[in-house]
Amino acid sequence: MKRYSVFAIAREALNYHMGWEKAWKSPEPKAEYDAIIVGAGGHGLATAYYLGKNHGLRNVAIVEKGWLGGGNTGRNTTIIRSNYLQDPSAAIYDKALQLYENLSQDLNYNVMFSPRGLLMLAQTHHEVRGYMRTVHANLLQGVQTEYIGPQRVKELVPILNIDGPRYPVLGALYQPRGGTGRHDAVAWGYARACSAMGMDIIQQCEVKGIRSEGGKVVGIETTKGYIGTKKLGMVVAGHSGQLAEMAGFRLPIEAVALQALVSEPIKPCMDVVVMANTVHGYMSQSDKGEMVIGGGTDGFNNYTQRGSFQHIEETLRALIETFPMISRLKMLRQWGGIVDMTGDRSPLISKTPLGNCFINCGWGTGGFKAIPGSGWAMAELMAKGEPGPLAEAFNMWRFKEGQFIDESVAAGVAH
Amino acid sequence: MLILECPYCGVKAEETELAPGYEAHLKRYGPGSTDEEFEAYMFARKNPKGVHFERWRHAYGCGKWFLAARCTATLEVFGTYPAQLSAPPAEIIAKIKAKRPDWKGLK
């Protein structure tokens, strides 16, 4: 792999940019691998990358039904933050944030991480108390956040209407280190680094069955034939239920559609990420100038990658009240992704009832921000066969034990 | 937009008039059951990509719970029936089998 650098640009410019090599190879599957990861989204590719980088496991394949980064990795609103209430969540999301901070250098690929700061607006007295509690929890966890008053909110986001009639802004939970990243580049950067380590990324290869002997995985049946493996990692978000069914167990997960939309591009007007959970809308401005807007989830099982129309209206109605200047903006695109929701709204990074088979799923509506931390923890689990400190609490048996990592109550909404 | 017919009032209601209630026909376990049974009842879900049976409530109508047979991959609705039934009616099963020949049945 040739490194990307300013010198590479100069060198290639002399060749009329005809010499750039493909960022990753597209090989045919080998007969057997040391580990196979199902799902070439951010989490799957990050898992493979840290398997190679941290644990020296490089005879690895990543199989993908569609195309690389074409699922929820390409469908989210790119928000990165770690201001979670519960300790296990704060630990893994902050690990992810720390890795994001150096990811472009680490991967030699610009993931355009932009720590522009993130505000979660408090618009009811319950939210004020809730966010103050989160700030105190974050202080104990070593995650730097602060609670700020409405005037400071107005200074940070001049286009925000802080004294709206229904939901005035009473304050905000502010995480200056939070921000956004370029979602596709995260998948592409990891893919390029994995391919450079000699891993095989096999796209257009759907898993049709999981073969096991004596309670252990021996391989997978795919549309490109049988592939043997010593270890299997399932990292497929919305379709985790289907893979679990093939492996013979059930998950505490429901798949529902979450949608987002972007406006036409406008001049720079907001350089922080704003989340308004009471009215349920969140918004940031992309580098192209589009306002990127996240909406609500549907309340029923759905695999169609499109959400219900009324959520668009609900989201925009709330945002127009909070940001009056966007009322004349035209919306360019709207899309949906299938998110895997667990009962406590926290993920699973876990061993499974099937030996040598591991699962990483249940990130629900907030997976993008976790990609590096999730891959780091999942790689440790797959390499050692036992979870490390980051993954330990996220085992799938916590539901039986009643040891929830309850972010659904902590956040009050999807997060 | 999802439209379901309420089996009690016969109204074709769209989803803003309804409240979703997720998987139907769960076998309930309580005191005296094993931890595994109780956990499976509380949390483990079928979450199928295809034919699914769900609970819905006609929240802004008659307010009653009913059940619906629906395809989660296409959003096609096969039919709705009262929540008092412990299994889907035969005509809905026949309709699903006609439209989804490879459906393995309600497990």
A57-113 pLDDT per residue, tens: 999 999 999 999 999 999 999 999 999 999 999 999 999 999 999 999 999 999 999
d(CA A8, CA B29): 65
**Which of B26, B27, B45 should we substitute to test contact with A (largest number of A Cβ atoms within 10 Å)?**
B45
Q: pTM, whole model, 2 decimals?
A: 0.95
Chain B environment of A239 (Cβ under 8 Å): 49
**Which of A65, A297, A300 should we substitute to test contact with B (largest number of B Cβ atoms within 10 Å)?**
A300
Chain B environment of A346 (Cβ under 8 Å): none
Q: Which two tokens stand for residue A190?
A: 């990891």
Q: Do B46 and A250 touch (CB under 8 A)?
A: yes
- The answer to whether B67 and B24 are in contact (CB under 8 A) is yes
| Amino acid at position A256, single letter | V
d(CA A136, CA A143): 10
The shortest C-alpha distance from B19 to chain A (Å) reads 8
pLDDT at A407: 84
Chain A environment of B68 (Cβ under 8 Å): none
| Amino acid at position A189, single letter | G
A248 → chain B, closest CA residue: B46
Hey, how many other C-beta atoms are within 10 angstroms of the C-beta on A332?
Answer: 12
Q: Do A301 and B72 touch (CB under 8 A)?
A: yes
Q: Which fold has domain A29-82+85-108+183-252+344-411?
A: FAD/NAD(P)-binding domain (3.50.50)
The residues of chain A scoring below 70 in pLDDT are 409-415
Domain B3-99: CATH superfamily is: Folate-binding superfamily (3.30.2270.10)
The shortest C-alpha distance from B91 to chain A (Å) reads 23
Backbone phi and psi for residue A205, each to the nearest 5 degrees, phi listed first: -135, 100
pLDDT at A184: 96
Residue carrying the six token digits 């956004």: A180
The residues of chain B scoring below 50 in pLDDT are none
Chain A environment of B36 (Cβ under 8 Å): 400
| Amino acid at position A98, single letter | Q
Max CA pair span of chain B:
43
Residues 355-414 of A with CB under 8 A from B: 399-400
d(CA A401, CA A129): 29
Where do the domains of chain A lie? 29-82+85-108+183-252+344-411, 118-178+255-342
pLDDT at A307: 87
B47–A contact, CB cutoff 8 A: yes
Q: How far is CA B64 from the centre of its chain?
A: 14
pLDDT at A409: 60
- The answer to whether B94 and B105 are in contact (CB under 8 A) is no
Q: Which two tokens stand for residue A78?
A: 């790119």
Class of domain A118-178+255-342: alpha beta
B45 → chain A, closest CA residue: A252
In what helix (H) or strand (E) does residue A103 lie, and over which residues does it extend? helix A103-107
Pairing status of strand B3-5 against strand B12-14: antiparallel
The shortest C-alpha distance from B94 to chain A (Å) reads 22
pLDDT at A408: 73
d(CA B23, CA B4): 16
- The per-residue DSSP string of B60-76 comes to TTT--EEEEEEETTT--
B52–A contact, CB cutoff 8 A: yes
Q: Do A310 and B54 touch (CB under 8 A)?
A: no
pLDDT at A412: 47
Q: Do A300 and B22 touch (CB under 8 A)?
A: yes
Chain A environment of B47 (Cβ under 8 Å): 241, 251, 253-255, 301
pLDDT at A343: 87
Please tell me whether the interface predicted TM-score (ipTM) of this complex is above 0.90.
yes
d(CA B39, CA A399): 7
Of A252, A302, A309, the CB nearest to B45: A252
